[in-house]
Amino acid sequence: MANIVQHMRQKQVIEKAYAKINLVLRVTGKRADGYHDLLTVFQSLALHDVLTFSQANPDEIILETNLPGLSTAADNLVWRAAVKLKNFYGVREGVHIKLQKNIPVAAGLGGGSSNAAAALRGLLRFWRLPREWTVLQKIAVQLGSDVPFCLQGGTALGTGRGEKLRTLKPLPFFYVVLANPGFAVSTAAVYQALGADEIEEGANISGMLQAIEAGNRQDIISHLSNTLELPAFRLYPEIKTLKEEMEKTGAVALMSGSGATVFALFTTKQAATAAKAALEKKAQWVHLTKTYAGSGPEVNYV
Ligand code: C5P
Convert 236-280 into a string of H (helix), E (strand) and C (coil). Answer: CHHHHHHHHHHHCCCCCEEECCCCCCEEEEECCHHHHHHHHHHHC
In the beta sheet, which residues pair with residue 61?
A: 95
Q: Give the domain ranges of the chain.
A: 2-168, 175-290
Cis preceding linkage at 274, omega within 30: no
Position 300 scores a pLDDT of: 35
- pLDDT tens digits, one per residue of 48-92: 999 999 999 999 999 999 999 999 988 899 999 999 999 999 999
* Record: fold of 175-290: Alpha-Beta Plaits (3.30.70)
pLDDT interval class at 11 (50, 70, 90): confident
Atom from ligand 1 closest to the CA of residue 37: 21
If you measure from the C-alpha of residue 270 to the centroid of ligand 1, how many angstroms do you get, rounded to a whole number? 37
For helices 111-126 and 133-143, the axis angle rounded to 10 degrees is 150
CATH of 2-168, one of 3.40.710.10, 3.30.230.10, 3.30.300.30, 3.30.1300.10: 3.30.230.10
Strands 13-30 and 225-226: parallel
Active site residue 16: no
The CA 21 to ligand 1 mean position distance, Å, reads: 16
Q: Work out the angle at residue 113's Cα, subtended by the Cα atoms of residues 174 and 97, and round it to the nearest 5 degrees.
A: 110
| Percent above pLDDT 90 for the chain | 92
Amino acid at 108: G
| Average pLDDT of the chain, as a whole number | 94
Find the 288 Cα to ligand 1 centroid distance in Å: 28
Which residues partner with 48 through β-bridges? 18
pTM above 0.85, yes or no: yes
Q: Is 270's pLDDT higher than 50?
A: yes
Of how many residues is the chain composed?
Answer: 302
Of 63-77, 257-271, 285-299, which range is least confident?
Answer: 285-299
Report which ligand 1 atom has the smallest distance to the Cα of 113: 4
* pLDDT beyond 90 at 6: no
